[in-house]
Amino acid sequence: MSNITFFIALALYMLSSGCFIFSIGKDSKWLLRAGLISSLLGIGFHSFSLVVIGIQGGHIPITNLFEALSFLSWSLVLLFLISYLKYRSKALAGFALPLATIILLPAAFSSRAFQELPPFWQNWWLGLHGMSILLAYGAFGLAFISAIMYLLQERQLKIKSPGLLYRWLPSLERLEEINHKAITIGFAFLTFGIIIGLVWARKAQSTGWSWGGKETWTVITWLVYALLLHRRITSNLRGRKIAYLCILGFGLVLFTFIGVSLLFPGLHSFVGK
Amino acid sequence: MKIVVVGLNHRTAPLGMREKLAFPERSLGEALKKLLEHQHIREGVILSTCNRVEIYTVVDGFEEGKAALKDFLEDYHQMKFLEIEDKLYLYTGPEVVSHLFRVASSLDSLVVGEAQILGQVKAAYSRAHENSGTGKILNSLFQKSFRVAKEVRTNTDIAKSPTSVSSVAVELAGKIFGNLSGKKVLLLGAGEMSEITARCLSSSGVTSVLVSNRTFSRAEELAGKFQGRAVKFDKFIDEMVHADIIISSTNAPHYVIKKEDILNIMPLRRHRPIFFIDIAVPRDIEPEVNRIDNVYLYNMDDLKAVSEENLKLRQKEMERCLPIIERETAQFMNWLSSLESAPTIVALKRRAEEVCRKEVERSLLRLGKSSAAEREEISSLARRLVQELLHRPITCLKKQAGKRNGYLYAATVRDLFDLDEFEEGKEKPSEKG
């Protein structure tokens, strides 16, 4: 059941991506509407599949690579849809849905198997910890997209031959605003997730912080986004430099999320691989 | 009855000749009167702008109409028709219709998609209307052309990307700053071009305007027009800390703004983006400025290049407009040909039969039981009444067919009996104004 809805969601995201990409340079309300409707339907099926997995496995669906990728993609689409309520940016849609699809694609080929979790895993702390960090990653994904869009638009303006991209992309100010909001939200979730993880580790294992691969890289990621926010608020980092930092930050996110799990097995490795 | 247009435009004739044939605004009424005095000209509209002179007419027949127009032009402008004949175009029938639709939709303009022409066509039409130059046909034709122009503008991108230098600048500012409200403009030099651009910006939401000029009084004068503030010329660099858009058009022979100046002020601006528009020749702003982060510099050539790109885009967009023009032309021609006597007679007869049939049915229903003979008598009574009543109008229509006022009879009959509404699938161009 969850598998069918998962694939329906994936197909709908692909359809939606296609609509948004195909609408570049055309002023087609029809395509835009089709893209939005299929992304809304997609997230509906996607949520359903996550809930079913959660109920069947008796845990929040973020324990193996399949579930985590699926959840990350879900949070990206969710955050994009929320942003769409305010900004109505079809260009953002043209990036967000393809990225969510790209994240979801490898999930289609990963193992769904999960093992029984040791007792101390089975509580809401794990869910809260994992979910808020994955939501943070989703927000950073959105920030990453807006950073790329910013760089493209900035380039168009600097080389002075504004073309198709120039007309399609929103203004620089708008992109900066989206970027800033996404990072603020992502940073809040990340911080919250880390704190929950710490408190819970102390309670469950009385070990507190352990310097595993994932923990270390998460701290590095956190530091990059903290620096970025700090520089933007207090002093004068704007424009391209912020965009580059966002791209670096998201690179770290991806590395921490996937690379580290594969390279440094430990507490945070996905189970059931 | 035929519709004919004669005219020349920026493509067929040089400016000098267009000027010679132009009808100045103040004497347009008089010209219209003269035009309508010709015995073969029934209706007329004169459209005279700096890019085109066109006379739209309804004439009795093509040859008479052509001769009348030739007389009118020779007479009014005191010239030999032969001198200009090869520069003129002369259309008739559907070509007139599609030509006017193209003109009103700005597809025939020098700058495709520009907004002015529609206003000019409207003005030309209302001048003719005031002078009783328009009747049944030109009223419909021009009213329809306004609707076609509106449809073309809203359903295609023909007027979307800006083409004038100042509107290109406004659009660029929009792509940098998003919302322009609350943004500050600083004008360096009080030239006309910078005033136009500033006006465009302030109508797009820019709220405060600063003006700096070597002659301080001129700065004050221009600032007054925008309820802005004048700034001493040696102080303008300081103002750049707060201004977001700088339009420079001084007469200085050297750079007024150098890269170091901007490098110094950017930290003070907290690196908020700044947009320089350099419309001075020679340039006022060192080109290297564009290399600084969050600084965007466009000079006159850059703006022109963008505008040319946009113009190419509009020309491409024309392909999407043509089907609209074709469809509407066909529809108008349909309506026009329905003004001929024969189709009007057919429609009138059908209308009468319809009324007859409906009323007979109703009477029979009310009567209830009746013999076949009674029923036959009732329906033949109805038929006779209708035939008797329509006999006169139909003979009259037949008699007028092909005569110069024939279409007016047909049009009147169509109006009286509401035949356009009655005939399915034929849209009737509405007639307001």
Query: pLDDT, tens digit, for every residue of A52-99?
Result: 888 887 777 777 888 889 999 999 999 999 999 999 888 999 999 999
Question: If pLDDT is split at 50, 70 and 90, which confidence band does B426 have?
Answer: very low
pLDDT at A118: 61
Q: What is the pLDDT of residues A176-215, one digit of tens each?
A: 999 999 999 999 999 999 999 888 877 776 666 677 778 8
pLDDT for residue A111 is more than 80: no
Confirm or reject contact between A171 and chain B (CB < 8 A): yes
pLDDT of B371 > 50? The answer is yes
Chain B residues with CB-CB distance to A177 below 8 A: 178
3-state secondary structure of B279: coil
Instruction: Work out the average pLDDT over B257-271.
Output: 93
Cα of first residue to Cα of last residue in chain B, in angstroms, is: 23
pLDDT at B428 over 50: no
Contacts of A179 (CB under 8 A, 6+ apart): A143, A146, A147, A150, A242, A243, A246
Looking at B99-197, which runs of residues are DSSP E strands?
A: 184-188
Nearest-Cα residue of chain B relative to residue A26:
B157
Residue located via tokens 């110094």: B264
Neighbours of A73 (CB within 10 A): 27
Provide the pLDDT confidence category of residue B79 given band limits of 50, 70 and 90: confident
* More confident position, B293 or B433: B293
CB contact under 8 A, B309 and A162: yes
Residue B297 forms beta bridges with which residues?
B276
CATH architecture of structural domain B2-159: 2-Layer Sandwich (3.30)
Q: Nearest-CA distance from B142 to chain A in Å?
A: 29
Question: Is A161–B306 a contact, with Cβ atoms under 8 angstroms apart?
Answer: yes
Taking the C-alpha atoms of residue B340 and residue B334, their distance in angstroms, rounded to an integer, is: 11
Span B333-359, average pLDDT? 85
More confident residue, B20 or A62: B20
Provide the strand spans (E) within B143-262.
184-188, 208-212, 229-231, 245-248
Mean pLDDT of A257-261: 78
pTM for the model stands at 0.74
pLDDT tier, B423 (very low <50, low <70, confident <90, very high otherwise): low
What one-letter code names the amino acid at B118?
Answer: L
For residues B216-243, average pLDDT: 92
Top-confidence residue, A133 or B408: A133
List CB contacts (< 8 A) between B178 and chain A. 170-174, 177
CATH architecture of B165-307: 3-Layer(aba) Sandwich (3.40)
**B174: CB partners within 8 A, 6+ apart:** A171, B180, B204
Question: Quick one: DSSP state of residue B133?
Answer: -
Q: Which ipTM did the prediction report?
A: 0.87
Q: What are phi and psi of B292, to 5 degrees?
A: -75, 140
Rounded Cα distance between B276 and B258, Å, is 12
Rounded CA-CA distance B395/B50 in Å is 49
Sequence ranges of the domains in chain B: 2-159, 165-307, 340-422
pLDDT bracket for residue A1 (50, 70, 90):
low
Q: Does A235 touch chain B (CB under 8 A)?
A: yes
A231 contact B CB<8A: no
pLDDT at A112: 74
B427 — pLDDT class (breaks 50, 70, 90): very low
pLDDT tier at B260, thresholds 50, 70, 90? very high
Asked whether the beta carbons of residue B271 and residue A239 sit closer than 8 angstroms, the reply is: yes
**A3-59 pLDDT, tens digit each:** 899 999 999 999 999 999 998 877 778 899 999 999 999 999 999 999 988 888 777
Query: Do the Cβ atoms of B54 and B96 come closer than 8 Å?
Result: no
Whether B263 and chain A come into contact, CB under 8 Å, resolves to: no
pLDDT at B136 over 90: no
Residue A29 contacts B where some CB pair is shorter than 8 Å: no
Q: What is the mean pLDDT of residues A106-115?
A: 76
Chain A CB within 8 Å of residue B273 CB:
yes
Token pair belonging to B295: 């600084």
When CB atoms are compared, the residue of A27, A157, A161 closest to B176 is A157
Query: Taking all residues of chain B, what is their mean pLDDT, rounded to a whole number?
Result: 88
Mutation target vs B (from A157, A161, A174; most B CBs, 10 A cutoff): A157
CA atoms within 13 A on the CB side of B348: 29
Q: Which residue of A has its CA nearest to B172?
A: A157
Confidence tier at A272 by pLDDT (50, 70, 90): very low
